[in-house]
Amino acid sequence: MLHIIQQILFIIVLGFASFIFYKKIMSIRRNINLGKEETFGGAAGLRWKNVLLLALGQKKMFKRMTPAILHFFVYAGFLIINVEMLEIMLDGILGTHRLFAPYISSIYPILVGFFELLAFTVLVSCVIFLIRRNVLKIKRLTTGELSGGWPKTDANLILITEVVLMSLLLIMNACDYNLQQMGSEHYMQTGPFWISQYIAPLFSGLSETSLIAIERSAWWIHIVGILAFLNYLPYSKHLHIVLAFPNAYYAALEPAGKMHNMTDIQQEVLYMMEPEKAPTEVPADAAPARFGAKDVMDLSWKSLMDAYACTECGRCTTNCPANITGKKLSPRKIMMDTRDRLEEVGKNVDANKTFVEDGKALLHDYITTEELRACTSCNACVEACPVSINPLNIILELRRNLYMEEGDVPQEWMQMSTNIENNMAPWKMSPDDRDAWVHN
């Protein structure tokens, strides 16, 4: 009877968690699609290669060895332990215990032992990550936009959750081994596992009932914890474990120096230069053009996916020449601001069916002109990002809006533009002297 209740309870919990997760993912998808359409051509083969190298292979992580190795342990653990999650899920649904064990009895202890080893390396890596953040206070992880508040809490919550989940897995197996040795009904003989056998003595004095209680509790807290963590993902920077993959697929294949062309303005200039090419009738329903981006809806959907894919590691910021020399610009903050504003806009759309003007925008209310003006367009942030995020696109689109809609331009840039317009060079030089170097 108790079994049936547990099974039904499990199916309800699993179904509920999956449903909530699905709903949230759909809402994030909707938010990303609030961005402007941008089509991505290019060879699918190259795109899949990027998925393999950058996302699956974590190529760019290996520019910094220590975090790369620790991160690899957590990542490999996460991927491979999911195989065991399959058994745990099926056990929960079918009311079985170690469903796969009888079918693969010869390798089962090795398999679980291997999972335990991974769980252990995940645990140790996460503890080291916690130390790096909270004790060693590594600059990249503790300064600027990460110095406090939600981003700091988010990072620690993720790490603590992983430590707890991995501990539960090991405790569960340790109790299981003790129960096996007692010959407890329902706990089949699999033999000791690689890591949990060393924890088992901690529980050896306990009664069968207590051991079953601990084992069952650990099993339940572990699986409910995982389902809760799954639903925490979309609210957290940890969503990168999902979005790193599509982000790598849609990573730019063209040279990084190429800026997005504004075809509206290209046409306008063409009609100005060759008026005979201009259409005689302007369509009445032509939407008023927005130059560059003022708010998140003006950005490409890829930039919005970038914002959700960011895990706030700060490699962009530590490589940014402006940030290194003490300017306000931090590419990581650009991404975090974009996500925060997009979430706000998403809630607005949820409440009003369509976006209702709220008197705010990404430009100014989140990202200031001082930050934008510090950018040298050097692409260091783009190059540094392990999950193919491009903060530079956002910066340049916002700058376009500042210049062309607000006319908010530093005096020197005004002068530069005037010079280019009048003298065909950014300096106040006579075009007649352009070839003067030949003669002097």
Partner 1 sequence: MTVKTMAEYMAEGTEPEVLFWVGCAGSFDQRAQRITKAFVQILNKVGIQFAILGKEEMCTGDPARRSGNEFLFQMMAYNNIQLLNGYGIKKIVTACPHCFNTIKNEYPALGGEYEVIHHATFLQQLINEGKIVVKDGGAFKGKKITYHDSCYLGRANNIYEAPRAVLEAMDVELVEMKRCKSNGLCCGAGGAQMFKEDEPGDTRINFDRSKEAVATGAHIIAANCPFCTTMLMDGVKNAEKEDSVQVLDIAEMIAQSLEA
Q: Which residues bind partner 1 (CB under 8 A)?
A: 63, 254-259, 261-262, 265-266, 268-270, 273, 291-292, 319, 321-322, 324-329, 370, 373-380, 382-383, 396, 399-404, 409-410, 412-413, 415-417, 420-421, 424-427, 429, 431-438
What minimum distance in Å lies between the beta carbon of 136 and partner 1? 21
Residue nearer to partner 1 on the CB measure, 169 or 375: 375
What minimum distance in Å lies between the beta carbon of 139 and partner 1? 14
Token pair 């040279």: residue: 255
Among candidate residues 385, 229, 394, 393, the one with its CA nearest the CA of residue 312: 385
Residue nearer to partner 1 on the CB measure, 163 or 385: 385
Residue nearer to partner 1 on the CB measure, 194 or 403: 403
Residue 125 three-state SS: helix
Angle at 182 between CA 176 and CA 184, to 5 degrees: 70
Angstrom CA distances, 295 to 28, 292, 338, 434, stand at 17, 9, 9, 41
What minimum distance in Å lies between the beta carbon of 294 and partner 1? 12
Angle at 152 between CA 148 and CA 158, to 5 degrees: 165
What minimum distance in Å lies between the beta carbon of 245 and partner 1? 23
Residue nearer to partner 1 on the CB measure, 169 or 392: 392
Residue type present at position 114:
F
Residue nearer to partner 1 on the CB measure, 189 or 266: 266
What minimum distance in Å lies between the beta carbon of 149 and partner 1? 24
Residue nearer to partner 1 on the CB measure, 365 or 406: 406
185: left (phi over 0), alpha (psi -120 to 50) or beta: beta
What minimum distance in Å lies between the beta carbon of 58 and partner 1? 16
Residue nearer to partner 1 on the CB measure, 38 or 433: 433
What minimum distance in Å lies between the beta carbon of 324 and partner 1? 6
Residue nearer to partner 1 on the CB measure, 258 or 353: 258
Residue type present at position 155:
A
Q: Which residues of 195-205 are buried (b: 16+ CB within 10 A; e: fewer)?
A: bbeebbeebee
What minimum distance in Å lies between the beta carbon of 89 and partner 1? 42
- Taking the C-alpha atoms of residue 340 and residue 258, their distance in angstroms, rounded to an integer, is 28
- Taking the C-alpha atoms of residue 63 and residue 59, their distance in angstroms, rounded to an integer, is 8
Other CB atoms within 10 Å distance of the CB of residue 193: 25
**With contact defined as beta carbons under 8 Å apart, do 322 and 370 qualify?**
no
- Taking the C-alpha atoms of residue 156 and residue 150, their distance in angstroms, rounded to an integer, is 10
Residue nearer to partner 1 on the CB measure, 79 or 289: 289
What minimum distance in Å lies between the beta carbon of 386 and partner 1? 13
Look up residue 9 and give its two tokens: 């309870």
Q: Which residues of 162-172 are buried (b: 16+ CB within 10 A; e: fewer)?
A: bbbbbbbbbbb
Report the DSSP beta bridge partners of residue 300: 36
Look up residue 89 and give its two tokens: 């899920």
Report the DSSP beta bridge partners of residue 363: 367
What minimum distance in Å lies between the beta carbon of 109 and partner 1? 46
DSSP state of 438: G
Q: Where are the alpha helices (DSSP H) in 278-390?
A: 301-309, 315-319, 321-324, 331-352, 362-365, 369-373, 380-384
Radius of gyration of the chain (CA): 28
What minimum distance in Å lies between the beta carbon of 243 and partner 1? 23
Residue nearer to partner 1 on the CB measure, 208 or 408: 408
Residue nearer to partner 1 on the CB measure, 33 or 368: 368
